[in-house]
Structure 1
Amino acid sequence: MIELGKIQELEVVRKTEIGIYLNSKSDKIGPDILLPIKQVPQDVQTGDEIEVFIYRDSEDRLIATTKKPKIVLGELGVLKVVETTRIGAFLDWGLEKDLFLPFKEQIGKVEKGREYLVGLYVDKSDRLCATMKTNKILTSKSPYKVNDKVQGIIYRINKDMGAFVAVDNKYDSMIPKHEVYSSHRIGDKIEARVTKVREDGKLDLSIREKANVQTDEDVIQILTKMIKNGGILNLNDDSSPEEIKKQLNMSKGAFKRAVGRLLKEKKIQIIEKGIKLS
């Protein structure tokens, strides 16, 4: 049986001037599929089996290719947007015909030149299309444990919950809202640390280091900011978390830990509206 959207081995059933025609060796149901002459391996003979990918050409005809696409059915991949239109976007997936990402399958604003995590599906017209609604394809059975370093891509952002991340383009994870300290966008690739493995297997992530390591970096960031501001920073214990995040891109708790260390080391002193260098 010939399967759309998958890499499979098919038998050469006949040779022509425009290419060779293929079909399933064990179950020849449906029409033979053309492999264009420019992709036909040298010295191939009738009866040989060839590994190909099946998709539809620009005229919606089933066609075979020996090229390996960047994504197949049942898997996820990170693809670049080559064009955006009013009905959707087109992605480079390594084949002659770009992959269509319908507008209804997009999450957030899709921009030309950026890369996004997508899955592959067959639409009602029996055509291959991309979708950014990838959570059903992601798995929660990851090999990672607490404090492991991981890499992933943000596939969805919920302001009330946080940033959803596909670790290794495969494992469902999230950076909780209180851990998101910078302006991330869908499609951003991140490095993070596992802070929790939930009962369902999903991972909680942080883009910050462990508290003691992160405090070292926060201290440097605060001192650098103060030097640029003439030795003064208008933030203190009474400042709102939002204002601290806006100025320093860190949580209020992280700010207080770093300030506490600087006070202990007598590098700063408290003033009426903030802190200043000693």
Structure 2
Amino acid sequence: MIDLGRKNKLEILRDTSVGLFLGDGEGNDVLLPNKYVPADYEIGKFIEVFCYLDYDERPVATTLEPYIMLGEFRLLQVAEINEYGAFMEWGLEKHLLVPFREQRDKMKQGQWYVVHCYLDQKSGRLVASNKLDKFLSNDHLELKEWDQVDLVVTRQTDLGWEVIVNERHKGLVYFNEVFKAINIGDVIPGCVKKIRKDNKIDISLQPLGSRVLEPAANKIYEVLKENGGFLALHDKSNPEEIRDMMQMSKKTFKKGLGTLYKARKITMEEDGISITTE
């Protein structure tokens, strides 16, 4: 089976004047046009391609890397607007359509929006929507606290940053849990901090509990080395100073200091910390 909107590993069947025909082993084939044919190839070998519909609504393969694939949420820019809707730039020749009915607010050319790519059942075409909530649900969570997750940042609220969790659920990163610059559309790793009774998900952008100790200690030690073995920070420093310099909370910083101190890697001084000299 050839999956539209996804990467496919297909066999090179034959070479023609218009390109290579690739097959899935089930009798289905698709054209890889000449402009995407690699310099070196061999009949019978396999090649990974992305498949979608061309301008004539025929399945076609490409070696180009799309910015978004079926089922994903990504930040894309509007390339043009016409009577059918907004067309997003997604790294391929044919732009990705967001029909007017799938626009939360009327889209504008040149603007960026987080959209979801899905297969329209009526037309069989890949299209996109920025009515994100209809593709997300927290009703049935296959998550637990401490799980590592993939995030897409969607918008800023009064409490923090809303994120899409594993392309399926909605979560929130509270402002006091953010220790580095993030922006709408960022695709970043995170960790499930808490699952509330109403299935709302609190997300942390750094490992939790004891799991943060070693990474924090290592980061502090690396920054120390980058700064000549001394940092004007200590366990009494202002939380904002620690966040700006180390991109971590004061609590995490203090635990990291404790790990380094117990290992006799650092010396505590009145005006900061320094690497222990042997």
User: TM-score band, normalised by the shorter chain?
Assistant: 0.5 to 0.7
C-alpha deviation, 1:211, in angstroms: 2.5
C-alpha deviation, 1:217, in angstroms: 1.0
1:238 maps to which residue? 236
Alignment check: 8 A CA contact 1:105 1:133 kept: no
2:148 maps to which residue? 149
1:272 maps to which residue? 270
C-alpha deviation, 1:266, in angstroms: 2.6
The aligned amino acid for 2:218 is: I
Q: How does 1:12-161 map to 2 (within 5 A)?
A: 65=57, 77-78=72-73, 81=76, 83-84=78-79, 90-92=88-90, 96=94, 98-100=96-98, 104=105, 110-111=111-112, 116-118=114-116, 131-140=129-138, 141-158=140-157, 160-161=158-159
Alignment check: 8 A CA contact 2:266 2:273 kept: yes
CA distance in 2, matches of 1:215, 1:276: 19
CA distance in 2, matches of 1:182, 1:270: 26
Alignment check: 8 A CA contact 1:161 1:176 kept: yes
Q: The residue matched to 2:219 in structure 1 has which SS?
A: helix
Report the CA distance shift for 1:243/1:191 in structure 2 as closer, same or farther (over 3 A): same
CA distance in 2, matches of 1:92, 1:243: 39
2:200 maps to which residue? 202
One of 179, 182, 207 as aligned partner of 1:181 = 179
1:155-184 deviations in Å (ceiling 9; x for gaps):
1223x4222111232211122222222211
CA distance in 1, matches of 2:223, 2:94: 51
Query: Which structure 2 residue ranges, 5 or more long, are not aligned?
Result: 1-54, 61-65, 119-125
Query: Which structure 1 residue ranges, 5 or more long, are not aligned?
Result: 1-56, 58-63, 121-127
C-alpha deviation, 1:90, in angstroms: 2.5
Report the CA distance shift for 1:77/1:93 in structure 2 as closer, same or farther (over 3 A): farther
CA distance in 2, matches of 1:243, 1:266: 24
C-alpha deviation, 1:91, in angstroms: 4.3
C-alpha deviation, 1:235, in angstroms: 1.0
CA distance in 1, matches of 2:218, 2:129: 42
C-alpha deviation, 1:206, in angstroms: 1.8
1:15 maps to which residue? none
C-alpha deviation, 1:254, in angstroms: 0.4
C-alpha deviation, 1:103, in angstroms: 9.3
Q: The residue matched to 2:132 in structure 1 has which SS?
A: coil
Give the TM-score normalised by the residue count of structure 2.
0.59
The aligned amino acid for 2:76 is: V
Report the CA distance shift for 1:97/1:254 in structure 2 as closer, same or farther (over 3 A): closer
Aligned Cα RMSD in Å?
Answer: 4.0
C-alpha deviation, 1:76, in angstroms: 6.0
Report the CA distance shift for 1:252/1:86 in structure 2 as closer, same or farther (over 3 A): farther
C-alpha deviation, 1:261, in angstroms: 2.1
C-alpha deviation, 1:77, in angstroms: 3.9
Alignment check: 8 A CA contact 1:117 1:187 kept: no
C-alpha deviation, 1:227, in angstroms: 1.4
CA distance in 1, matches of 2:196, 2:216: 28
Alignment check: 8 A CA contact 1:105 1:132 kept: no
Alignment check: 8 A CA contact 2:242 2:248 kept: yes
Report the CA distance shift for 1:232/1:193 in structure 2 as closer, same or farther (over 3 A): same
Report the CA distance shift for 1:180/1:85 in structure 2 as closer, same or farther (over 3 A): farther
1:95-124 deviations in Å (ceiling 9; x for gaps):
956424869456xx955xxx833378xxxx
Give the TM-score normalised by the residue count of structure 1.
0.59
C-alpha deviation, 1:253, in angstroms: 0.4
CA distance in 2, matches of 1:195, 1:103: 30
